[in-house]
Amino acid sequence: MPYIVAIHAFIDNYIWVIRDHCHAAVVDPGDASPVLDYLEQEKLKLIAILNTHHHNDHVGGNAALLREFTVPVYGPANESIPTVTHPLKECNDKESAEGNAYIPEFSLSLRVLDIPGHTAGHIAYYGANLLFCGDTLFACGCGRLFEGTAPQMVNSLQKLTDLPKETGVYCGHEYTLNNIRFARTVEPGNQALIEREAKVEALRKQNIPTLPSDIAIERATNPFLRCDQPEIIRNASVYAGKPLSDPVSVFATLRDWKNHF
């Protein structure tokens, strides 16, 4: 069974490596250099690249990696990424090649979920209790709405929230502590959030990644997944200066609030 390793890139990006003792697949390699260094150090052969969306800090290393390795590049069918060889989108047929990234060396099939909002064609990969969700769902947060709408993002986040609670959440950035501090402003009475903040602060003091998260802790602490909670509705309404009731308007208000936090 493969296991997952985080490679740091840029200021706060994570490039996820799915690996065994001799093979590696990489998720969202925005920078090739740290990936190539890791592969050489660990004596691993690259066997696949998986992209969640088109932003350069997630795909910028594709071309350089392909100069060293001839591998399939999986990515969203509804976005333009020149290096993608296997465009994917969510399919009702769970066995469809168009809706799965299959890595034979690991006997690992990752189902594709369409999760627009951060970008128009953003996808996630889900399988074996692993979720690679790019910049849609963060630990205690979510991505900005660069190309999508609030209703789209609410639907996308609900799709991820509905996954099994033990699903590991492997997102693209180390934003957790800042996200928690915002969440504490929005929902100060959440005891699970208070406990999470202490654990995350301890990890960051040791420069240890706060990821992966899991769906259970996100359901319990992530304000963007909790837009039906009375305390969040009340505080979002105060920020908006008007009563809010439906989850989309609460979400849109939280997203605007976080943008200015």
Residues labelled catalytic: 53, 55, 57-58, 118, 135, 173
Contact 156, 115 (CB under 8 A): yes
- The strand pair at 100-103 and 45-50 is best described as unpaired
Rounded Cα distance between 185 and 189, Å, is: 9
Contact 72, 78 (CB under 8 A): no
Map tokens 């915002």 to a residue.
182
Rounded Cα distance between 143 and 29, Å, is: 18
167, two tokens: 């699903």
Contact 50, 122 (CB under 8 A): no
* Other C-beta atoms lying within 10 Å of the C-beta of residue 172: 29
* Other C-beta atoms lying within 10 Å of the C-beta of residue 22: 11
Q: What is the 3-state secondary structure (H, E, C) of 41-61?
A: HHCCEEEEEECCCCCHHHHCC
Contact 13, 59 (CB under 8 A): no
Angle, helices 176-186 vs 247-259, to 10°: value is 120
Contact 126, 113 (CB under 8 A): yes
